[in-house]
Amino acid sequence: MMMATTHVLEADAQHDFARMARALPPSDPLRSGLVGIALDEGRHAAYLREALVRKMSRASSAQAQIEMFKERKAQAVFKVVLEGLLGGSQVVPPRLSKPAAVEEQVSIAA
Ligand SMILES: [Fe+2]
């Protein structure tokens, strides 16, 4: 579904631009521009998520779509990187495990 994939790309772009902004000194004029772009990307991601939830009429269904495309994107990146490292060999990307629920993460950290 186009909205889910685009949401993932927009959300990732938000984090990428924010990361680039943090790499610059606070006095650098480019920093505020990158922060502005990050905020825009975040709004785009939020809009797409909201549209997806409305279309699917359930937040849990929309979130499942988003998680599926996050996993596909990560697998595609793994595949490209591994093939690059292995000189063009065909590789099968690893299956990603689902992240632990927040409650599990908290109990693991405690
Ligand atoms: Fe965008």
Q: What is the pLDDT of residues 30-79, one digit of tens each?
A: 999 999 999 999 999 999 999 999 998 888 888 999 999 999 999 988 88
Q: What's the gap in Å between 101 CA and the centre of ligand 1?
A: 28
| Residue 98 CA: distances (Å) to CA of 50, 68, 74, 75 | 23, 10, 12, 13
Give, as one character, the DSSP assignment of residue 24: S
CB 31 within 8 A of CB 83: no
- In the reported structure, the alpha carbon of residue 65 is separated from the centroid of ligand 1 by a whole-number distance in angstroms of 19
Q: How far is the CA of 18 from the centre of ligand 1 (A)?
A: 13
Instruction: Please give the structure tokens belonging to residue 74.
Output: 């990560």
Proportion of the chain above pLDDT 70, given as a percent: 82
CA 59 – ligand 1 centroid, Å: 22
> Please, is 74 exposed, middle or buried when counting C-beta atoms within 10 Å of its C-beta (0-12, 13-18, 19+)?
middle
Give 109 or 2, the one with higher predicted confidence: 2
pLDDT for 110 equals 45
